[in-house]
Amino acid sequence: MKKILIVVDGIIGRHFIKSVIGIQTSENIYYIVQSKEEEPFEGYDLARFKFFSFDPTSNYKITNVLKIDFSQAILVMENPSDLENTIKNIRLFKPSIRIIALDLWNSKNPDDGIEWVNMQQIIGLNLIQFLPNIPVLAQNIGLGNGEIMEVLVPFGSSFVYRHIGAIEQNNWKIAAIYRNRQLIIPTDQKMIQPNDALVLVGEPNVLKSVYRAIKRELGQFPAPFGSKLYLYIDMEIEKTKTIHELVRRSIYIHEKLNKPLLIKVVNPGNIESLRYIKSYVNHGVELDIVYDGMVDEEIMSRDIRKHHIGLFIVSQKMFSKKAIRSNLYKSNVPVLKLADCSFSTLKKSVVILGEENHVEHISTTIFDVASQLGFDLELIDYVVEDRTSNLRAVEHFNNLSAIFSKSIRIIETEENPIRLLRENDNFLQCLPFTQKMFASPLKHFFATDSETLYTKLDSYHQLFIPTQI
């Protein structure tokens, strides 16, 4: 059982003692020194609380108490001179005791061996939590650095009606759900509802990203991945006609999403195409030309970080390069691969339910893109023997359809969905950006999963969306 010395004066000290009395524990014994006679406290355990009234700045008086073997001392005093002298008295008799002191004056010295609790900082942190759309961080649990966070899920959130098991949780976890003042222990089958309060645990920087993702509502794409569209053109490998088509289609997407567009040109040897691109440059479209011999992957990685890229646009020829594809995958950014067909005449986006149901991870982005571009949305449910995960995904998409007021057509088929889609004229395929995109060509002969076989629909526009936040 630990013995703790508490020295207090003033109203803050009294509130602190009342809080300590209210703690239901029998593990500690508290020796409380008050600088003057105060109104006695009520409802405390006589075996756990010992009260003294004397001036703690008196070395003689406090030395008598310090003969007890205390594990630590907590000082809550409103007079800076009294606090300073009390610390000196304690240090003289017990030089190595742990001292925690309240700092009302923002005058702490980090090198004096005292653990200062800054009152101004505490008040500021508590006031911030009353602002809307601000995460609530645990201050008295764990490290207090933001590794424990509570987030209220808004009605239009990207997390609403998602199953816990379908949410990628790397370096963070959903530790608890509070709904209607009831605690719900998370399991893979539990579904998040509007106005749920989620308790998250993880790395502070990761939790900040998760918080932004939870608060994101429809109509924000390419957020939370980034804020800018990026078209990458290598004039050494692209024909003049292809370059012009890439630019026109990117300008169309830029106008529909109303997001700034950066056109990056490397190996600028085509003067005609450069003039064509420059004719589109205005306040929302920027041109950046690379004249040195940097490697494509280096340019892409640098620009994604530098310009906060949210959607990377490339040609089919560029995306077919494994090194480029791998670099984009590691960058965790959505990639739109433009095919050799019209984009402005597109009427629908299509999603195929895969074997591992990664599509539930990217469902909100799919709805967001379809809504902003004005596309119809089709979900193809390939009928297999064990349909548990497929049915769960269909339920999820139907719920999102209701809350986002975006209709969705669900097609159940026993036919090969890729063969079925190849009968269509034009569409945008939305699919998860996963490791399956790097399977060896030999595996394609035996694969049945649409993610592995994405190249079978190479002649159509495809949007690859990261499954991680």
pLDDT given for residue 47 in this prediction? 85
**Residue indicated by tokens 């548990």:** 388
pLDDT given for residue 213 in this prediction? 74
Answer whether residue 387 shows pLDDT above 70: no
The residue type of 398 is: N
Write out pLDDT tens, residues 67-125.
999 989 999 999 999 999 999 999 999 998 999 999 998 876 766 788 888 888 878 77
Taking the C-alpha atoms of residue 234 and residue 99, their distance in angstroms, rounded to an integer, is 64
Taking the C-alpha atoms of residue 174 and residue 202, their distance in angstroms, rounded to an integer, is 9
User: Can you tell me the mean pLDDT for 288-304?
Assistant: 85
Domains in the chain with CATH codes: 2-123 (3.40.50.720), 132-215 (3.30.70.1450), 228-333 (3.40.50.620), 348-466 (3.40.50.620)
pLDDT given for residue 378 in this prediction? 92
Count CA atoms closer than 13 A to 324's CA, side-chain side.
18
**Residue indicated by tokens 């592995």:** 452
Identity of the highest mean pLDDT range in 88-97, 191-200, 243-252, 289-298? 243-252
User: Can you tell me the mean pLDDT for 261-272?
Assistant: 92
b/e per residue, 389-415, with b = 16+ CB within 10 A? bbebbbebbebbbeebebebeeeeeee
Answer whether residue 334 shows pLDDT above 60: yes
Tell me the torsion sign for CA atoms 20, 21, 26, 32: positive
Answer whether residue 155 shows pLDDT above 60: yes
Q: Write out the E strands in 9-104.
A: 28-34, 49-53, 72-76, 98-103
pLDDT given for residue 129 in this prediction? 66
Provide, rounded to the nearest whole percent, the portion of the chain with pLDDT above 90: 42
Answer whether residue 359 shows pLDDT above 60: yes
Taking the C-alpha atoms of residue 142 and residue 151, their distance in angstroms, rounded to an integer, is 17
User: Can you tell me the mean pLDDT for 307-336?
Assistant: 92
Pull the structure tokens for residue 188: 């893979």
240 CB neighbour count, 10 Å cutoff: 12
pLDDT given for residue 25 in this prediction? 64
Taking the C-alpha atoms of residue 5 and residue 13, their distance in angstroms, rounded to an integer, is 13
User: Can you tell me the mean pLDDT for 356-367?
Assistant: 81
> How would residue 260 be classed by pLDDT, with cut points 50, 70 and 90?
very high
The Cα-based distances of 277 to 237, 265, 272, 328, 364 in angstroms read 17, 10, 9, 24, 33
Taking the C-alpha atoms of residue 23 and residue 31, their distance in angstroms, rounded to an integer, is 15
User: Could you tell me how many residues make up the chain?
Assistant: 469
Q: Residue 120: what are its φ and ψ, rounded to 5°?
A: -65, -40
Q: Residue 21: what are its φ and ψ, rounded to 5°?
A: -60, -35
pLDDT given for residue 445 in this prediction? 52
Q: Write out the E strands in 365-427.
A: 376-382, 409-413
Pull the structure tokens for residue 215: 């608060």
In a 3-state reduction of DSSP, which class is residue 314? strand
Do residues 311 and 260 make contact, with C-beta atoms less than 8 angstroms apart?
no
Answer whether residue 28 shows pLDDT above 90: no
> How would residue 246 be classed by pLDDT, with cut points 50, 70 and 90?
very high
Pull the structure tokens for residue 353: 């339910």
Pull the structure tokens for residue 165: 């098991």
Q: With a threshold of 0.85, does the pTM exceed it? A: no
**Residue 49, burial from CB neighbour count under 10 angstroms (0-12, 13-18, 19+):** middle
What 8-state DSSP symbol labels residue 358?
G
Average per-residue pLDDT for the chain: 86
Q: What share of the chain is helix, strand, coil (3-state, %, to 5)?
A: 35, 25, 40
Answer whether residue 446 shows pLDDT above 90: no
Q: Pick from 410, 416, 366, 369: which is nearest to 390 by CA?
A: 410
Do residues 18 and 41 make contact, with C-beta atoms less than 8 angstroms apart?
yes
Taking the C-alpha atoms of residue 267 and residue 262, their distance in angstroms, rounded to an integer, is 16
pLDDT given for residue 49 in this prediction? 92
pLDDT given for residue 32 in this prediction? 94
In a 3-state reduction of DSSP, which class is residue 255? helix
